[in-house]
Amino acid sequence: MDAFKKGSNIFKILSEAVSEGIIIVNTSHIIVETNDSANQIFGYEKEELIGEHLDILIPNQYRHGHDKHVAGFMEKGQKRQMGRGRDLYGSRKDGSEFPVEAGLNPFSVYENNYVMALVIDISVRKKAEQELQHWANIFNESLNEIFIFDSKTLQFLNVNKGALKNIGYSLEELKTMTPLDIKPDFDRTQFIEKIKPLLNDSLDKLKFYTIHKRKDGTIYPVEVHLQKSSLRENDMLVAIILDITEQEKYTQKLEETVDQRTHQLQKALTKEKELGELKTKFLSLVAHEFKTPLSGIMTSATLAGKYTREEQQSKREKHLKTIRGKVKYLNNIINDFLSIERLESGKFNYTFSKFPISKVVNEVIYDANMLLKENQHIEYPDHIDSIYLNFDEKILELILTNLINNAIKYSSEDSTVYIVAEEIDDKLAFSIRDEGIGIPEAEQKHIFNRYFRAENALLNQGTGIGLNIVKTHLENLGGTITFTSTEGEGSVFNVKIPLKTS
Ligand code: ADP
């Protein structure tokens, strides 16, 4: 009989009084006694365990080495808590495994050595621990920044990985700091004022926007969510921080786009308004500017009709010339208007071609001749047949027509208009000089403004459009226009066009 049995009654009384499972094995690791708790934990009847090797209670994969472990321990003969630093598992009768905590206590009875194992089923505790660990992981791994600080000292107590990463400080450093060290927009009084509603429980949570300052000095915009949390007697505040740099960038971009679109819309509206005004202006100009030339045409046509005899041909010619001149004039006004309309609505397409400038110059002068007053002359350039220009032919015609017609219009009878065309460096330079009324100095700066007409020009017909269009076209095509003028003496308009316009 096992020596242990001799004292079994005492054991029985003692062992049933404790809630831990008790298993006693001899030096061969054979189970010699168990208590009710142990039977219950492992799901066996006592009889099924007595006489069995301890391995019956240990899952297969842990058996290896366990024997040696217990034997070694028996030799040393000290008490110890098993499972420190590693998880221990038990195996139930039904094959299921469960975590245990075991303490081993060697003892001798009648010179026989035994080990009493105290076993606790820690399934429930383990599960709670795992859950806790899970929450801790969520806290730690969260990509949002989480800061926990003491509600009184404000000192940081804990900070998650996300926060450490973005703010750049180590946990040790942060534990010596407070939110004020990373929130440059707050001083202590302001911050305490801010968190007051949480501390006196008038608010559950608080949300606000501010900036955070990293260890490297850079700052970033944040959305702060604050809540109070209590652990034992201590109140602490949990801050969840969202780095809203991207959001701000997006909002900023959105605002920029809105600004841009508003600007475009305003521009389109202005253009629309200008076009509307242009149409109104055109109608009123047609009413005023067309009336005089049209009645002139009417008169000349009537008079020409009266000269029926053959020898009156020269008189007829004179009236026909007047008619042609006035029609030409009206035609120019219409061309100018169409030009503005197309320039304004962005529909202007230039057509480039290579042509001898003499072709355009001759045509313009031919037409201008019809506008000449009594004894007025145009002195035009001779040796220009060899000059070719790669340009928009119609636009060159419009430029020269406007400038030459002005020169004629704003000078009196018996005067000369001088036209010069020459190549200077890589430019073709035209100059149109007259001996006319000139432009008053004070008004010279406005001369290229649309609809502007100088005081001394108002007796002549005009719209104030021509020079504005000429300048716009030249600027679009890489050319320039300048002038010099002296009131009462005359004006010179200088146009330069690049010879190699692509
Ligand atoms: P318009 O001749 O139809 O009035 P322009 O745009 O061609 O319009 O000219 C604008 C203004 O510039 C004229 O009203 C006039 O005051 C002045 N101007 C232009 N050319 C001359 C010139 N050769 N001599 C004097 N004034 C001129």
pLDDT at 66: 67
In terms of domains, do 198 and 282 share one?
no
399 lines ligand 1 (CB under 6 A): no
In terms of domains, do 266 and 372 share one?
no
Q: List residues bridging with 119 in a β-sheet.
A: 21, 102
Q: Which atom of ligand 1 is nearest to the CA of 432?
A: 23
Average pLDDT score over residue span 433-437: 97
Least confident of 153-167, 183-197, 334-348, 388-402: 334-348
447 lines ligand 1 (CB under 6 A): yes
Average pLDDT score over residue span 264-287: 81
In the block, tokens 């609505």 appear at 345
In terms of domains, do 116 and 174 share one?
no
CATH number at residue 382: 3.30.565.10
In terms of domains, do 62 and 32 share one?
yes
Per-residue buried b or exposed e for 76-111, using 16+ beta carbons within 10 Å of the residue's own CB = eeeeeebeeeeebebbeeeeeebbbbbebebeebee
| Whole-number Å distance between alpha carbons of 146 and 142 | 8
Average pLDDT score over residue span 387-405: 94
Which of 75, 90, 123 terminates a domain? The answer is: 123
> Which residues, other chains included, contact 474 with Cβ-Cβ below 8 Å and sequence gap of 6+?
399, 480, 481, 495, 497
Per residue in 303-347, pLDDT tens? 998 998 888 899 999 899 889 888 988 888 888 878 887 887 777
Q: Is residue 294 part of a domain?
A: yes
Q: Is residue 431 part of a domain?
A: yes
pLDDT at 193: 94
Whether residue 68 has pLDDT greater than 70: no
3-state SS, residue 479: coil
Whether residue 69 has pLDDT greater than 80: no
The answer to whether 237 and 227 are in contact (CB under 8 A) is: yes
| Distance from Cα 482 to the centre of ligand 1, integer Å | 13
Q: Is residue 55 part of a domain?
A: yes
With the most atoms of ligand 1 within 8 angstroms of its CB, the residue from 373, 411, 467 to mutate is 467
pTM (two decimals): 0.51
How high is the mean pLDDT of the chain? Answer: 88
Q: Which two tokens stand for residue 26?
A: 């001899």
First CA to last CA across the chain, in angstroms?
120
pLDDT at 279: 76
In terms of domains, do 331 and 466 share one?
no
In the block, tokens 């031919």 appear at 366
In terms of domains, do 103 and 161 share one?
no
Q: Is residue 135 part of a domain?
A: no
In terms of domains, do 83 and 151 share one?
no
Residue 400's pLDDT band (boundaries 50, 70, 90)?
very high
In terms of domains, do 233 and 256 share one?
no
11 lines ligand 1 (CB under 6 A): no
Whether residue 262 has pLDDT greater than 80: yes
pLDDT at 170: 95
Average pLDDT score over residue span 61-87: 65
With the most atoms of ligand 1 within 8 angstroms of its CB, the residue from 412, 439, 443, 468 to mutate is 439
pLDDT at 1: 45
Which of 342, 372, 401 terminates a domain? The answer is: 342
**Helix-strand-coil split of the chain, %, nearest 5:** 45, 25, 30
| Distance from Cα 37 to the centre of ligand 1, integer Å | 117
Which of 218, 243, 268 terminates a domain? The answer is: 243
**Distances 159 to 142, 169, 170, 212, 217 between C-alpha atoms, Å:** 11, 10, 9, 15, 19
411 lines ligand 1 (CB under 6 A): no
Q: Is residue 137 part of a domain?
A: no
Q: Report the domain count for the chain.
A: 4
336 lines ligand 1 (CB under 6 A): no
In terms of domains, do 160 and 49 share one?
no
Q: Which two tokens stand for residue 134?
A: 């899970």
Q: Is residue 131 part of a domain?
A: no
Highest mean pLDDT among 59-73, 100-114, 462-476: 462-476
| Distance from Cα 406 to the centre of ligand 1, integer Å | 6
In terms of domains, do 106 and 35 share one?
yes
| Distance from Cα 453 to the centre of ligand 1, integer Å | 6
Highest mean pLDDT among 26-40, 226-240, 433-447, 455-469: 433-447
285 lines ligand 1 (CB under 6 A): no
- Domain hosting 432: range is 350-498
Q: Is residue 134 part of a domain?
A: no
Whether residue 98 has pLDDT greater than 70: yes
> Given the DSSP bridges, would you call strands 377-379 and 416-424 parallel, antiparallel or unpaired?
parallel
Higher pLDDT, 317 or 85: 317
In terms of domains, do 483 and 376 share one?
yes
In terms of domains, do 236 and 259 share one?
no
| Whole-number Å distance between alpha carbons of 378 and 407 | 10
Q: What proportion of the chain, given as a percentage, has pLDDT over 90?
A: 57
CATH number at residue 322: 1.10.287.130
In the block, tokens 């959105």 appear at 254
Q: List residues bridging with 236 in a β-sheet.
A: 150, 229
